[in-house]
Amino acid sequence: MADQVTKSIIVKGSVDELYDIWSDFTTFPQYMSNIESVTPRSDGLSHWVMKGPLGANFEWDAKTTLMEENSRIAWRSVDGSMKTSGQVSFKALPHDQTQVTVTLQYVPPRGTAGEIAAALFARPEQRLSEDLRNFKAFVEQTTRAA
pLDDT of 17 reads: 95
Domains of the chain in start order, with CATH, are: 3-145 (3.30.530.20)
- Other C-beta atoms closer than 10 Å to the C-beta of 93 total 12
Burial class (CB in 10 A: 0-12, 13-18, 19+), 36: middle
Q: Which amino acid is at 76?
A: R
Residue 102, CA distances (Å) to 56, 60, 86, 116, 141 in order = 26, 20, 7, 23, 21
The answer to pTM > 0.75 is yes
Does residue 56 come out as left (phi exceeding 0), alpha (psi in the -120 to 50 range) or beta? beta
Least confident range from 61-65, 93-97, 129-133, 142-146: namely 142-146
What are the tens digits of pLDDT across the range 105-133?
A: 987 666 555 555 555 555 678 889 999 99
pLDDT of 42 reads: 86
**Distance of alpha carbon 16 from alpha carbon 21, whole angstroms:** 9
Give the residue-averaged pLDDT of 52-80.
88
